[in-house]
Structure 1
Amino acid sequence: MNTKYFDLINQTFDFPQEEFKLEDNQLQFHDINLMALVEQYGAPLKFTYLPKISENILRAKKWFAKSMKEQDYKGTYNYCYCTKSSHFKHVLNEALKNDIHIETSSAFDIDIVENLKAEGKITDKTYVICNGFKREQYITNITRLINGGQENCIPVIDNYEELDLLSEGIEGDFKVGIRIASEEEPKFEFYTSRLGIGYKNIVPFYEDQIKNNDKVELKMLHFFINTGIRDNAYYWNELVKCLRVYTKLKKVCPSLDSLNIGGGFPIKNSLAFDYDYQYMIDEIINQIKITCEEEEVPVPNIFTEFGSFTVGESGGAIYEILYQKQQNDREKWNMINSSFITTLPDTWAISKRFIMMAINRWNDTYERVLLGGLTCDSDDYYNSEQNMNAIYLPKYKKEQPLYIGFFNTGAYQESIGGFGGLQHCLVPSPKHILIDKDADGNITTKLFSEQQTSEHLLGILGY
């Protein structure tokens, strides 16, 4: 009878996989010995595997290049990194090795851009796409960047006042984009995104405020829907509506030459994850080309703003099971030595699922459990692994420590969790390790941040 944890994973999923394999009864992630990390740095532990960032960027570039070549698409492709997914310097440094561009969403993003520019990571020719609702500080910073020579900085107009505010501060001519306020999925509580300008108002806005303004050149139409790039009727319907606006606007605005389709590529959230990226890109390119040919306008250059896709699969978290609580005849709670609310806040906020597996003891028998965090909050738990509707782990044994890993957690979790700040119930942020490869392909590790101390937390509180 197959009762070992390895048997469960092997029978349930296609295993091993590209990034996961087993060696000496222990889980390896991109050939990283995770138990060696635990032995060196302890747990709880968060890590970032930097080479995965470059790998995903190059994958997307390859897919778009292949599709454009096969379909004889005349426009160019520009990969932008959505900085709000992870603003950390080590993330930007790795991403910018791959000839990419930047998308910003708030005022302090511009300070990061200027820092990167001073270090030679980006140039005046790097595209800086400025999204978001822009108020005084953001406007001030954008104008400073453009006045400083960032020739390819493109503020994307989100509301009717922004154009005048930008014009007041920018000394010479400048380029802009316009964001379409897409209609949300029917299940949403509202019909139209709060971001951007409505479909029907795009052309009138251009004709009223941009067409006769010699200082402003409209270059880009921006399109993004909250659910991301999915192969469903809703996405294709919204894309076609966007393309109709683009072709209509192009006919009255010769300077318009770029379509930004935003972000939204999903990342692997289960060992059963299945998404055909190449097919989706082929279909998007095809739809754009068909619509432009029908309307007899040139195809646009394409921009994307992949955030989670860029950095998400580089991150992970490792916890130790501290104790097991048998709360009734059926429910066993395995308590981790940290908190889900503070270290993986999306599990609590939007019920997001990550890949979760045991790190060690794969030859042990397994049991069904629930996972609980250390805070005194009833919502601090993680109770179902994607596509399994339950969590199965090697049986708890007090004398044999069990470690578990959550994978592909690299996007948003640190910023939403308040990295370096206060944590719920004052549960400290864990250590964070950067993992890289040297010139010979050997794995290297470096401590990025220590686990928070009580002195640090009390200092924030004013004690």
Structure 2
Amino acid sequence: MNTKYIDLIDQTYFFPQEEFTLEDEHLKFHDIPLRDVVEKFGSPLKFTYLPKISENIGRARNWFANAIEKNAYKGKYHYCYCTKSSHFQHILHEALKNDIHIETSSAFDINIVEQLKKDGKLKDSAYVICNGFKREQYVDNIARLINNGHRNCIPIIDNYEEIGLLSDVIDDTFKIGIRIASEEEPKFEFYTSRLGIGYKNIVPFFENEIKDNDKVELKMLHFFINTGIRDNAYYWNELVKCLKVYTRLKKICPSLDSLNIGGGFPIKNSLAFEYDYQYMINEILNQINITCEEADVPVPHIFTEFGSFTVGESGGAIYEILYQKQQNDREKWNMIDSSFITTLPDTWAINKRFIMLPINRWNDEYERVLLGGLTCDSDDYYNSEQNMNAIYLPKYKRDKPLYIGFFNTGAYQETIGGYGGLQHCLIPQPKHILIDKDADGNLTYEVFSPQQKAEDLLDILGYKTDKSSVGTSDTTIEHAITSNV
């Protein structure tokens, strides 16, 4: 009888997979020996595997290059990184190695852009696409960037007043885009996105506010829907409506030459994940070709703003199973040494599922369990996998430590979880490790931030602590811990 955990995986999925392999009974992720990482740095911990960021940027560019060739597409393709997915310096530095562009969401994003330019990481020719509702500080920061010579900064107009606000503080002419307020999927509680301007209002808005405005040049139409780029009737219907607006505008606005199809490429959330990226890109360009040919207008240059796709698959979290609680005859609770609410908030907030696998003991018998976090909150749990109605793990044994990993967690979790700040029930934020490769292809490890200490949280709360009295010593961030494992 096949009762080992490895047997369960073998009969359920195609395994091993590109990023997941086994060495003896220990899991490797992109050839990273996770057991060794745990032995070196302990748990709980988070990690970021930086080379995966560049790899995904390259994958997307190749898919678009193939689609452009296949469809004889006359426009160019521009890859933008959506910074709200992760603003960290190490993320931006890795992404910008690939000569990409930036999409921003709020005022402080512009300060990051200016620092990247100062550090020589972002070129003066790079596009900076400024999305979001623009309050005074955001408007002022955009104006400063443009006034200081960054001519490829393109604010995307989100409401009717923004052109006037920007015109008042930008010295010279400037380029803009318009965001379409797409209609939401029927399951939503509202019909139309709060972001952007409605389909029917865009052409009149151009004629009334932009056409005779010598200071403004309309360059881009921006299209984005919450569900992302999916092969379903809803997505294709919204895309066709967008393209009809584009062709109508193009006929009366020669400067319009770009279509931003936003973000929304999904990332792998299960070992059973399937998505044909190449097909979707081929079909998008095909639909644009058809619509523009029928309307007798040139096809637009294509911009994308991939956030989760860029950074999501670079991240992971590792926990130890501390204890098992048998709460009734059917439910076994495996308690992790951290909290889902604080370290993977999307599992709690939007019931998001990540790939979850044990790090060790793949040759042991398995059992069905629930996973619980350390906070005294009934919602701090994880109870099923994306394609299963349960979680199965090697059987808990007090004398045989069990470590589990959550993978592809690199987008949004740190910022939503309040990185560096207070955590629910004062559960400390775990250590964060950066994993990279040196010039010889060997793995390197650096501690980006240590686990939070008691005085870190007490200082935020306003307590004046004697740091020697709270049981900790040096709180300095450990840097440059580099070794080959």
Q: TM-score range by the shorter chain?
A: over 0.9
The 1-side partners of 2:207 and 2:117 are apart by 35
User: Pairwise CA RMSD of aligned residues?
Assistant: 0.4
Identical columns (%):
81
Give 1:83's aligned amino acid.
Answer: T
CA distance in 1, matches of 2:400, 2:59: 41
1:454 equivalent in alignment to 2:454: yes
SS of match in other structure, 1:432: strand
Matched, 1:187 2:187: yes
Residue number in structure 1 paired with 2:66: 66
Partner in structure 1 of residue 473 of structure 2: none
Give the 3-state SS of the residue equivalent to 1:278 in structure 2: helix
Residues 227-280 of structure 1 show CA distances to partners (whole Å, capped at 9, x for unaligned) of 000000000000000000000000110000000000000000000000000000
TM-score by length of 1: 1.00
Q: Which residue of structure 1 aligns with residue 345 of structure 2?
A: 345
Report the AA paired with residue 102 of structure 1: I
Does 2:405 align with 1:405? Answer: yes
Which residue pairs with 1:369 in the alignment? 369
Name the SS of the counterpart of 1:98 in structure 2. Answer: coil
The CA deviation string for residues 297-349 of structure 1, in whole angstroms up to 9 with x for no partner, is 00000000000000000000000000000000000000000000000000000
- Matched residue type, 2:281: I
Give the whole-Å Cα distance in 1 for the aligned partners of 2:164 and 2:125: 25
Letter in 2 for 1:72: A
Give the drift of 1:109. Answer: 0.2
Map of 1:111 onto structure 2: 111
Aligned amino acid, residue 161 of structure 2: E
| Paired residue secondary structure (1:144) | helix
Q: What is the correspondence of 1:264-343 to structure 2 with a 5 Å cutoff?
A: 264-343=264-343
Q: 1:125 aligns to what?
A: 125
Give 1:19's aligned residue. 19
**Equivalent residue of 1:318, what SS?**
strand
2:197 is matched with which residue? 197
Q: What is the deviation of 1:99?
A: 1.3
Post-superposition CA distance 1:158-181 (Å, at most 9, x none): 000100000000000100000000
TM-score, scaled relative to structure 2:
0.95
CA distance in 2, matches of 1:206, 1:383: 50
Q: Structure 2 CA distance, aligned partners of 1:394 and 1:369?
A: 10
Classify the secondary structure of the residue corresponding to 1:47.
strand
CA displacement at 1:24 relative to structure 2? 1.9
- The count of aligned residue pairs is 463
2:133 partner amino acid? F
CA distance in 1, matches of 2:187, 2:363: 44
Q: 1: CA distance between counterparts of 2:121 and 2:325?
A: 51
Correspondence 1:57 to 2:48 = no
Give the secondary structure class of the aligned counterpart of 1:125.
coil
Map 1:75-90 → 2, pairs under 5 A: 75-90=75-90
The residue type paired with residue 14 of structure 1 is: F
The alignment partner of 1:220 has SS state of strand
Q: Which residue of 2 aligns with 1:93?
A: 93
Matches of 2:77 and 2:189, distance apart in 1: 34
- In the aligned structure 2, how far is the partner of 1:70 from the partner of 1:5? 44
CA distance, structure 1, for counterparts of residue 9 and residue 141 of structure 2: 51
Cα distance between partner residues in 1 of 2:243 and 2:388:
39
Separation of aligned partners in 2, 1:117 and 1:216 = 25
Letter in 1 for 2:283: E
| SS of residue paired to 2:325 | strand
**In the alignment, what sits opposite 1:227?**
227
In structure 1, stretches of 5+ residues that fail to align are: none
- Partners in 2 of 1:108 and 1:152 — Cα distance? 18
Which residue of structure 1 aligns with residue 423 of structure 2? 423
Shift of 1:221: 0.2
Match of 1:167 in 2: 167
Q: Which residue is 1:35 aligned to?
A: 35
Are positions 1:213 and 2:208 aligned together? Answer: no
Distance 1:246 1:130 in 2: 20
Q: Deviations over 1:61-106 (max 9, x none)?
A: 0000010011110000000000000000000000001110000000
Q: How far off is 1:386 after superposition?
A: 1.3
Other-structure match for 2:468: none
Using the alignment, how far apart are the partners of 1:391 and 1:42 within structure 2? 24
Given residue 336 of structure 2, which amino acid in structure 1 is its aligned partner? I
The equivalent of 2:378 in structure 1 is: 378
* Aligned-pair CA distance for 1:56: 0.2
Alignment correspondent of 2:432: 432
Q: Deviations over 1:126-150 (max 9, x none)?
A: 0000000001000000000000110
- Structure 1 residue 123: Cα displacement: 1.9
Aligned equivalent of 1:414: 414
Counterpart secondary structure, 2:97: helix
* 1:145 has 2:145 as partner: yes
Structure 2 alignment gaps of length 5 or more: 464-485
Letter in structure 1 aligned against 2:110: I
3-state secondary structure, aligned to 1:285:
helix
* 2:80 match: secondary structure: strand
How far is 1:35 from its partner?
0.8
Read off the aligned partner of 1:73 and give its amino acid letter. Answer: Y
Aligned mates of 1:57, 1:151 — CA distance in 2:
24
Deviation of 1:42 (Å): 0.4
Equivalent residue letter for 1:89: Q
Give me the whole-angstrom Cα distance separating, in 2, the residues matched to 1:85 and 1:350.
16
SS at match of 1:58: helix
Distance 2:135 2:46 in 1: 35
Q: How does 1:222-261 map to 2 (within 5 A)?
A: 222-261=222-261
Following the alignment from structure 1 to structure 2, what is the Cα–Cα distance between the partners of residues 405 and 325? 20
* Partner SS for 1:22: strand
Amino acid at match of 1:197: I
> 1: distance between equivalents of 2:141 and 2:210?
22
| Mapped partners of 2:124, 2:21: distance in 1 | 43
Q: Give distance in 2, aligned partners of 1:210 and 1:359.
A: 57
CA distance in 1, matches of 2:423, 2:188: 30
Q: Give the C-alpha shift of residue 157 in structure 1.
A: 0.1
Residue 483 of structure 2 corresponds to which residue in structure 1?
Answer: none
